[in-house]
Structures are given as C-alpha cells and as structure tokens.
Structure 1
Amino acid sequence: MIFDSLDVSYGEMWGSYRGMTHRSPMSRALAARKHAAGKDYAVLLSAREQPLALVEYWPGRMWRVYLFDDRSWCMQMIDLEPHGTGMLLAQRNTRWQFANDQAHLCGRWDVQETTTVSADGHIEVKSEFAGLRGGSPESSHAGAYGPSSVPGRRFAMAVEDFLCPAPEFGDWQVFAPLLTQQGHESASTIVLNDRSVDEGSGPLRATGIEQLFNPGACDTREGPGVVEPIDAGMLRITSGRLAVSDPGWTSNLRTVTVPLGDFPVTLSLLRTERGVDVAAARVTFLDVPPRKWEMTLRPDEDLGLLGEGKFYGVGVDTGTAAFMDATRTVTEDELDDEIFIPLDSEGHFSVELPGTEPEPNLIAFRAGKGDGAYPVWTGRTEDGKVSCVVVDFQLHCAAGTE
C-alpha cells in the first residue's frame, strides 16, 4: 500500500492488535494524559480502513509495534527500548509466516523468525518451525508440543541501522519507516488524521448507590428483581483503616481512613428468577446519610487517567470479597475452612472470620456473579466524615447505578 496520510485512534493496549478497532477506545486527550503519566495505551495507525501498525506504549518508555500486511494480517512485532538520548533501539523483531487464513486466525504460525539486537550492535537471528502446532503472536513461546528450531546466526552491524527517534506524544510519523517492512510505501510528507473518540462524561459516577439497599422491587439486567437487605454482622476496626479486598489477596490493599470501633455490615441480596446474588455490600460508620460519594482510590490512582465509565476497584479472583481491618491477615487454612467452604453452602452469603478480642475480625461475602473488578464508593457527610463504604457488584440496571 502507498499512503500519504494515516488515521490515528487510541485505546487500551492489551490484545488490541487483533483487529483494526480498539476493544476499549479512548480520546486523544486521555491518551495524552496517560503518556505524560507513564501509563500504558495503544495507538492504531491505519489507512483506507486497513490497519498498518498498532503501537503500544509501555511503562518505562518502552514501545511495542505490531505491523500488518495488505491482507490486514498481523505479521510482525517489534520491541523498542530507550537507547541514548531521544532514540529507540529495535531490540527485538519477530516475524511470522502463516499457511492460510485459518492458521492466522488461530495464531498458528509455520515459521517464526526473531532478530535480537544488543546495545553494541551484536545481532542474533533465530528461526523456529512449528509443525502441526505452533505459537501465536501473543507470545514468542512455543505451542503445546514445541516447535523445532535451527541454530541462530550471529553477526555484527552498526547499531544505528536499528534506531528510530523516540516520539513525543502525537509524533507518530516516526514509526512510518517501520511500515516498509511489510511492503507499505509512504509519501515524503504524511498527514495524521485524528479518529479518536470524544472525551465523554468521564469516569464512572456514583449514581443511585443508596437505592441498592432499598428493599422491594427493582429492575436488573436479567429482568425484574427484588432487593432484600440482610445483616452480615459487626466489623471491628482497630487500626483506623478499613480494607476492601479479596480475602485471598491481601497485599496492596484498597483502604479508607475510618473511626475505631465495631460497625454494622449489610448485604443487599438481589433475587431474580435465576436465583439470589449479593448485589452490594456496605459497612456503616455514621447513622447519617452521605451527602456525596467518591471513588475509593489507592494513592497511585488518578481519576484523570480513566476513560468514560471506567473505574478503579477491588479485584476479585476467588469469587469472594471482604471488609476487614487493614492489619488483619488470613492464612490459607482459614481461607479454605472458614471462608470458602462455608460460602459454598446453600443459603450462605457471608461469613465472619473472628479475631480474638481486641483483635480485628473479617467479614467475607460472595462477590456478585464472581471474579472481576468492582467499584468501591466512600460516602461522606457534609463535613467530610465517612458515613459508609459500599462495594457495588453492578447487577442492577444503569437506571439504578452506572
């Protein structure tokens, strides 16, 4: 393809090389903020509705470029790392050959050739041949049975032949010379056309959180439902920090500064024709309705780096979430015998892991439909005191919560 312009769009980086549209598109402004903060994002460069390159920005000023041929097949992956002042070194260049469309769709390459370049210009070229089962563009590792390979070729070249300028944000023309490696030809001047999405309304907002605990009929994604609040016990806070976490993963906790004492935990059960799930969980610190809600963040999280409707939340990998004091620890035996097994029992939605007085306890509960990430909201009074903390498992319709 001969091109004199490139359409530019932005999105999240993971897996976005698989097509010419981003799974999670973002605005140019958001991508620029991520770039300035050293956070990852992806840039798709296309022409005439065909993808030419997907460029990923990684933390540590690393870049990865996926290159597409005239069939819109992803045929090449180049990893670039900083080299000196203002330059990038194509440290690793991987090419694939596929037998047919189906092989490409499944990521089953016939041949994978990888060129590795050291900072002083030493080159190694290694070829692998897949046979019946190969690897995929997601990884340079072998398939289930492992490909065959031939001894690598080693030689020296001028390192300058593998350098390109490190781009400032928006200076995507610097990657145009790489496109020639897939047979594309560029004009002497290239025009960049912004095809990014609008900024939108920003991160997820707390809408209708109080209604999650109002008993009675409601609408859900699965049709009509009924909300039933139930007591889950009293949570003891001894350190002044509440933690919201999967009880199986208690490092890098999401915490809120709260009063000392014992505080009630309430679950919101959602009954539909498909069964009963925990739709939300709340720990209440003041018997005063919150006047405002804020997303519960870790110190390194920035709302300005979230796209429309996105959130930072508690990650769940065991189907279970918990409220606990930030100093509380959990052993593997406790997880299995006192949390997971009881919660697997019919009709059990929460369980308390006691602490010997005056040590803190832990209250664990089923996490909505299971594993995933869920927003945590802190409700504050007019004078900024914490009224309650809520985990929303997002089972209600958007009319109730976003």
Structure 2
Amino acid sequence: MAELSADAAWNYVYCQGWNRDLQRFVGLLDSDTACARNEAGEQYSVTLLRGGVPRVVIDIAWSAHYLGVWTLDEALRRDSHVDYRRLRAEQLFPVRERVWRYAEGQRDGDDDVWEQEVSRKANGWMSTSKRPRGRLGGSSRTAGQEDDTDIWREVPVFGDWRWALPDKEAGPVGTAAEHTGEYEAVSAGSPWRPPTPYRNLYLDDLMLEGATVLMEGAQPRVVAHRLRGMVDMPTGQVITCEPRWLDYSEPFTDTIEPGRYEVHDVLLTDPDSESDWWPRAGFLLRVSEAPVVSWEMALRAGEDPRTLSDGDFYGFSGSQGCFVDAEPLRTADHQINADRGREQSYALRKWARMAKRGELHEHPHSQWSDALERGLDDRDGIRLPGTNFNMIAYNCYYPDGSYPTWIGRATDGAIVCFLTDMRTTHPVIATDH
C-alpha cells in the first residue's frame, strides 16, 4: 500500500470500520487481507477519502447479504446511508435509504436532527417517512408501488470503488493507503456489525419439558407442555394469524401432510409457586416426534429474511392468535365477512342500527367474536363457519403484540413442528454489541 496521494482527488483505506465518535479508523487492513475477507464473506470496511478527509464509508458483510454506504459531511457527520442487500447473485437491492440534515450546532446522533427514510420491498412496495424534528417530533408518511427497475445495482468488483463516489464529487480514485494522517487508526474491535434480525435463543429448550430458561427480567422458569387441542389440516397449508381478521391471512410456503395435529401450550412454570396459571412462551403445532436439529423463520409468499433489519421478523399482530388450515379458513372468511366492496357502507350503517337496538350479536362478526371467546379453552377448538373443520385459537401474551413463527426441522430436513413465539424469554435477541 502507499501513502495518501495529494495528486489524486480520492484515495481509499481498508479497515474494520470507521468510529464516528472518535473520528478514527479502526484496525487498518492491507489489500490482501481485505480481499480474503471479501471472498470469505467476512465483514470489512472501505473508507474513501477526498483530499485526505474521510467522506464515504462502505461496510460489507456478504455472509449477511449486506452492503451499506455512508456519506459524511465536512464535519464528518453522517448525512446519508443506503442499506443494500444481495438478493440476486450479482445484484444488490436498496431496502432502506436515510438522509439527515443538520442545523447549526447539531451533532451526529442528536435526537432532533431532521431525517427522511425510504423503505423498500422487492415486490415494488415503498414508503417514505419524514421527521422534521427527528425522534423528538411527529412524522409524515407516504406509501405506494414504484418501478424498481433502475434501483438495483451490480455487486461491486473488489478494488473498484469509484461507483460509491458522490456524483458531484466524482473523480479519479488513487491507490489504497496505509497512512491516514490525523485520522490515525485505533486497534479496538469492529465498530459495526451487519443487521441482525430477531432470533430466540431458547427454541431448543422450549421443546424440552423440564428445561430451565430465563423469562423477562432474567427470572428462571421451567418449561412444561400442555395439550391445547387437535387442529384439522385438510390441505397442510398452515396459517398463524389474528383470528378476528381472517381476510389478512396467507399460508406459510412450507406445507405438511394433510391430517389432524396436536397443538400444545408451551408454559413457563415456577416450581416454587402454587399458581395454576403460567405465562406462555409459545404455542406448538407438533407434526412429528423427531428431534429438532435446526430452526428457521416461517415465511409467506414474498417474504425474504435477507431484507430484515435489526430485531425484525415476519409474523402476525394481534391480541389473539391461532393455528388453522388455509382452505377452510377461506370458506370461513367468506361466511364471516360477507359484506364487502360496494356493500360495505350499507353494512356499516346496518351494524350501527343493530348496535342501537342491542342486536349487534346477530351479525356474523359478533357471532364469530363470541365463538372465539367461548372456544379458547375448548379441546375441540373452534368450528369454522361453513366448514367441517376447526382452528385452535389462544390469547397472546402481549395485547396487540407481534409474533413470529419458527419451523423446527429434523436431520433429514422434514418439518417437526411450527412454534409461534410469544417473545417472553430473555434474552430474545442475540447481538455482539
């Protein structure tokens, strides 16, 4: 490597990252080491310097399908970030873009800095939010479909970093540098990590009755299973959802053999207590008795875990949940939500009149809500209107919370279970920082 060149507009430095608080490089790397990390999928960073001043930081971790590009202003404050994910072999997709604008005297990380964020999904859906007062004030949001043809970009070739230069400052890029002047490197560990989606560290333990896990607040609890009922799966297309809103539900892409399966409460018990009620760590649809050797997030069509950010997951939201098969659910949805489309306004007026007369219980929606309340503790589950099949429903741990479902697999890859996670164990998110 060479010294920073005063003759070239831009040079670059390989390192473990840029420490924005210290305004120093962390752990300089030579080109061979950085190249080896790139090929192995290990994380590293490239910092582009203009006139010897850091202006662009590229964080790369191909094992996590991640490439992030940060730009720095004259005061070395972050003023933009693009979060790319490698969703195709040779192409990157920008799932998130953020821009900050600083008023006089504001520092990087201040709560009141103006911010705009654009979030994208690979199906063309995008949303934009603006926060004029940062985290201290309100926000505005717009959303809709966009043509994403031109926003994919090619995976960069190692060593060619010119693509990351701001258009207004583009110019020739010199050689990699080993001396960084006033931004001398420090030797602390990497100052960043790739996005880490939510994951529960206790999934294996939750399958073992008698295992000890930690609940919220680091309270030790003993795992117990209790049969909740048997659910009919005539097609094997599994759905977990809020049963009050059936029309928003789609099955998981992984299916099981049609049949009738046990559903268990996964309880967090305290042997020293005489209580007969215990919080639930989850709800288990058991497909076979084989041991679980691996876990993965249950996904619906169009969901891609490579696009998730820190702590994120796919799941359902609500105060109740259920296990149900897709085919009878569609029939029941049609029975319960018969008033749709052009008749919706008429239906709303009719419901209002019924409410005044005290007859709201006669409407299918109210009948369904009553059936849910009556059937939550019934071993036979809740019969789905218009079908010969049932669902197993339950109250969620957090009112109006959000809950992922995990698929447990055997050594041969066969599905052993679906486990809907109430997110009550601690810690639930594994991070290195």
Of 279, 282, 289, 2:281 maps to 279
**Equivalences for residues 2-21 of structure 1 within 5 A:** 4-7=11-14
Question: Partner letter of residue 363 of structure 1?
Answer: I
Given that residues 254 and 314 in structure 1 are in contact (C-alpha distance below 8 angstroms), is that contact kept between their aligned partners in structure 2? no
Query: Where does residue 321 of structure 2 map in the other structure?
Result: 321
Q: CA deviation at 1:261?
A: 3.1
Of 354, 374, 390, 2:404 maps to 374
**Equivalences for residues 96-115 of structure 1 within 5 A:** 96-101=101-106, 105-109=110-114
* CA distance in structure 1 between the aligned counterparts of 2:292 and 2:83, rounded to whole angstroms: 49
* CA distance in structure 2 between the aligned counterparts of 1:227 and 1:387, rounded to whole angstroms: 18
Q: CA deviation at 1:68?
A: 1.6
* CA distance in structure 2 between the aligned counterparts of 1:393 and 1:9, rounded to whole angstroms: 37
Query: Where does residue 53 of structure 1 map in the other structure?
Result: 56
3-state secondary structure, aligned to 1:209: helix
- Please, what is the CA RMSD of the aligned residues? 6.3
Question: Partner letter of residue 285 of structure 1?
Answer: V
The 1:93–1:377 alpha-carbon spacing in structure 2 relative to 1, beyond 3 Å, is closer
Q: CA deviation at 1:263?
A: 2.1
Q: CA deviation at 1:267?
A: 0.7
* CA distance in structure 2 between the aligned counterparts of 1:134 and 1:204, rounded to whole angstroms: 29
Query: Where does residue 296 of structure 2 map in the other structure?
Result: 295
Question: Partner letter of residue 77 of structure 2?
Answer: W
List per-residue Cα deviations over 1:52-80 (Å, max 9, x = no partner): 336699xxxxx996522243323467999
Query: Where does residue 243 of structure 1 map in the other structure?
Result: 239
Q: CA deviation at 1:353?
A: 3.8
Given that residues 293 and 379 in structure 1 are in contact (C-alpha distance below 8 angstroms), is that contact kept between their aligned partners in structure 2? yes
* CA distance in structure 1 between the aligned counterparts of 2:378 and 2:15, rounded to whole angstroms: 48
3-state secondary structure, aligned to 1:257: coil
Question: Partner letter of residue 135 of structure 1?
Answer: P
3-state secondary structure, aligned to 1:258: coil
* CA distance in structure 2 between the aligned counterparts of 1:97 and 1:226, rounded to whole angstroms: 51
Given that residues 254 and 297 in structure 1 are in contact (C-alpha distance below 8 angstroms), is that contact kept between their aligned partners in structure 2? yes
Query: Where does residue 94 of structure 2 map in the other structure?
Result: none
Q: Does 1:168 align with 2:156?
A: yes
Given that residues 290 and 387 in structure 1 are in contact (C-alpha distance below 8 angstroms), is that contact kept between their aligned partners in structure 2? yes
Q: Does 1:354 align with 2:383?
A: yes
Of 69, 73, 78, 1:69 maps to 73
Given that residues 28 and 196 in structure 1 are in contact (C-alpha distance below 8 angstroms), is that contact kept between their aligned partners in structure 2? no
* CA distance in structure 1 between the aligned counterparts of 2:83 and 2:419, rounded to whole angstroms: 42
* CA distance in structure 2 between the aligned counterparts of 1:52 and 1:244, rounded to whole angstroms: 47
The 1:94–1:282 alpha-carbon spacing in structure 2 relative to 1, beyond 3 Å, is closer
Given that residues 236 and 263 in structure 1 are in contact (C-alpha distance below 8 angstroms), is that contact kept between their aligned partners in structure 2? yes
Question: Partner letter of residue 371 of structure 1?
Answer: G
Query: Where does residue 209 of structure 1 map in the other structure?
Result: 204
List per-residue Cα deviations over 1:337-383 (Å, max 9, x = no partner): 7569967x9x9799944214754322233445563453512344x77
Given that residues 246 and 322 in structure 1 are in contact (C-alpha distance below 8 angstroms), is that contact kept between their aligned partners in structure 2? yes
* CA distance in structure 1 between the aligned counterparts of 2:172 and 2:420, rounded to whole angstroms: 51
Given that residues 351 and 364 in structure 1 are in contact (C-alpha distance below 8 angstroms), is that contact kept between their aligned partners in structure 2? no
Query: Where does residue 215 of structure 2 map in the other structure?
Result: 220
Question: Partner letter of residue 106 of structure 2?
Answer: D
**Equivalences for residues 37-186 of structure 1 within 5 A:** 45=47, 52-53=55-56, 66-75=70-79, 96-101=101-106, 105-109=110-114, 135=132, 168-171=156-159, 173-175=161-163, 177-178=165-166
Q: CA deviation at 1:174?
A: 1.2
Question: Partner letter of residue 376 of structure 1?
Answer: W
Q: CA deviation at 1:239?
A: 1.4
* CA distance in structure 1 between the aligned counterparts of 2:269 and 2:235, rounded to whole angstroms: 36
The 1:173–1:211 alpha-carbon spacing in structure 2 relative to 1, beyond 3 Å, is closer
Q: CA deviation at 1:234?
A: 1.8
Return the structure number with greater helix share.
2
Question: Partner letter of residue 278 of structure 1?
Answer: R
Q: CA deviation at 1:98?
A: 0.9
Question: Partner letter of residue 132 of structure 2?
Answer: G
- Could you tell me which runs of 5 or more consecutive residues in structure 1 were left unpaired when the two chains were aligned: 11-16, 22-26, 35-40, 58-62, 81-85, 87-91, 113-132, 145-164
**Equivalences for residues 257-268 of structure 1 within 5 A:** 257-268=255-266
TM-score of the two chains, using structure 2 as the length reference: 0.49
* CA distance in structure 2 between the aligned counterparts of 1:93 and 1:375, rounded to whole angstroms: 30
Tell me whether 265-274 or 236-245 shows the greater mean CA deviation. Answer: 265-274
* CA distance in structure 1 between the aligned counterparts of 2:314 and 2:37, rounded to whole angstroms: 23
3-state secondary structure, aligned to 2:161: helix
3-state secondary structure, aligned to 2:223: strand
Q: CA deviation at 1:265?
A: 1.0
* CA distance in structure 2 between the aligned counterparts of 1:28 and 1:366, rounded to whole angstroms: 52
Query: Where does residue 126 of structure 1 map in the other structure?
Result: none
Q: CA deviation at 1:212?
A: 3.9
* CA distance in structure 2 between the aligned counterparts of 1:372 and 1:209, rounded to whole angstroms: 21
Return the structure number with greater strand share.
1
List per-residue Cα deviations over 1:291-335 (Å, max 9, x = no partner): 6444255476778x599xx99964132244321102214457888
Given that residues 52 and 179 in structure 1 are in contact (C-alpha distance below 8 angstroms), is that contact kept between their aligned partners in structure 2? no
User: How many residue pairs align between the two structures?
Assistant: 314
The 1:293–1:104 alpha-carbon spacing in structure 2 relative to 1, beyond 3 Å, is closer
Identity of aligned residues (%): 12
The 1:326–1:393 alpha-carbon spacing in structure 2 relative to 1, beyond 3 Å, is same
Given that residues 322 and 394 in structure 2 are in contact (C-alpha distance below 8 angstroms), is that contact kept between their aligned partners in structure 1? yes
